[in-house]
Amino acid sequence: MSGEPGASNGDARPPAADVPDRLLTLALEFAVGIAAAGAKLRAPLAFPVALKPLLKFQKLPASALAKVRAAVDGDDAFRRKLARAAAAAPELLDDASMLWLTRPEGWEQQLAGLVGEADPNDLAAELRRSERRREAAEGAAHRVLAESVALRAELERRSDVSTTASQEIDRLKKEAATARTEVERHQAAMRKVNDQLQAARNELAELAGARDAALARAAEAERLRDEVLAARAAAGPTEAAAQSTERAVLAGAAAVADELDAQSRLARQLVGDLDRLARRLHHLEPAVRTPNVPERPVSRRKQSGRSSQRQPIGVPGGLYGSSLAAAEHVVRHPGAVVFVDGYNVAKLRFPLLELEAQRAKCIDLCEDVARRWGTNIVVVFDGTNGLGIAATVRRLVRVTFSPEGVIADDVIRREVAALPDDVPVVVVTNDQAVIADVRAMGANPVSSDRWIELATR
């Protein structure tokens, strides 16, 4: 009947469910063989529980075929594993068994077509070869398991890579948070200094206006004096009146001169305040100075040869001048600028490292001190071969290199001389000539040994 399933053009074919179990004997034997081999492995192969009682059979009895077929039909994942194993060794199965396991498009019709062609004698011959195929099935099971193990290993590797990437992301997030905190702290300090500088500029503008007004009053006084003298000459006043008038004019001129002198002193004082504020702002900058940036010139007052009026930081009684406690006292002094002879410290503390590593380690030591006490530190190295350091953003200390043909000792001397006298200065070095020079400029010397001990304790 053409309307029934499996019928086509009047040629009736039985559906797959009507295919006799004996026609699928090789596939069913193959399934039990794969299950038996998989059960012996260290990581057993998953198979239907219904097959477990049949694993001991070397050859399936006819009564067990239906049970095996039902178990395989009920576990599609196991059937697909069998199909992959059969595809790797197609010589183990006949056409009917391959169709039933692999199930390509139109397989039911093809399998039904094989039902009428099956010969009982051929089936008997195939059953005699089932034992050899069982052994081959065990090898196929090994291949399936190897594929499973490889996939599991790849999954674990990708999981490890994902975990490592997550940890690296967390570390970078923490570093970014720390960097943002440092940037915000320095930005707040810069805003405060900029506010102070703007207030000083406003005050300077007010003083300039007052100075201009005083100059205008002085010019007016001179004009009045000239008019009085001209009138006296024309009218011929008495000597007493002339002297009185002259004294009044001179008194007014003297008052104007005193006012101008006071305004001039205030202007000079304000200029000095602005100079000191600008220098402190310069030392707050965390960026590393590169060799191409010109060094800050020594102030005109220092170039004049006038001896420094800076007073060294006082050490409390009971502290030995070169002791560790005395070194800590001067380094932690409020507002002090600490100059560190970079290579003098680096070569003493890290003599076995390469030059670049010595610089990096020395800067790390100085940053530890700056982080601990908020000390304003300037590290000075000889020469301009500092590209590696210059490329790294340092937020806690300022790093500078001496220009070509200039040694770090001279840079330190010049930096100390350029600072205003009211800025306390500490110089870290073991160079006795530098110690003598900076001490004459009112700076407090600290030996490199004491600095290393202070930074590493």
CATH number of the domain enclosing 202: 1.10.287
pLDDT in tens, 47-56: 998 888 888 8
Range(s) of the domain holding residue 19:
7-128
Residues 225 and 280 in one domain: yes
Residue 296 sits at the vertex; the CA angle it makes with 290 and 298, to the nearest 5 degrees, is 150
Nearest residue to 293 (alpha-carbon basis) of 386, 197, 395, 165: 386
Report pLDDT digits (tens) over 89-139: 787 888 888 889 999 998 988 888 887 665 555 555 555 555 556 666 666
Residues 350 and 403 in one domain: yes
For residues 119 and 204, state if they share a domain.
Answer: no
Is residue 176 in some structural domain? no
For residues 326 and 430, membership in a common domain is answered with yes
Q: Which of 57-66, 114-123, 329-338, 370-379 has the weakest average pLDDT?
A: 114-123
Is the pLDDT at 263 greater than 80? The verdict is no
- In the block, tokens 């024309």 appear at 234
Give the contacts of 403 (CB within 8 A, at least 6 positions apart): 291, 295, 384
Q: Tell me: the pLDDT tens digits for 386-419?
A: 554 544 455 689 999 999 889 999 999 999 999 9
Please report, rounded to a whole number, the percentage of residues in the chain having pLDDT higher than 70. Answer: 67
Kindly list the distances between the CA atom of residue 263 and the CA atoms of 121, 176, 201, 266, 365, in Å, as whole numbers in the listed order: 130, 51, 16, 5, 48
Average pLDDT for residues 31-36, to the nearest whole number? 89
Kindly state the average pLDDT of the residues 38-49.
84
292, 240 in Cβ contact below 8 A? Answer: no
Establish if 439 belongs to a structural domain: yes
- Residue 380 pLDDT > 50, yes or no? yes
Question: DSSP class of residue 428?
Answer: E
Same domain, 102 and 207: no
178 or 237: which carries more pLDDT confidence?
178
Mean pLDDT of the chain: 77
Cβ neighbours of residue 322 closer than 8 Å, sequence gap 6 or more: 447, 450
27 domain residue, yes or no? yes
Structure letter (DSSP) for residue 5: T
Residues 197 and 245 in one domain: yes
156 located within any domain? no
274 & 222 share domain: yes
Q: How many domains does the chain have?
A: 3
Residue 217 or residue 304, greater confidence: 217
| pLDDT tens figures, 357-378 | 999 999 999 999 999 999 999 9
Q: What is the dihedral of CA 351, 355, 356, 357, to 10 degrees?
A: -10
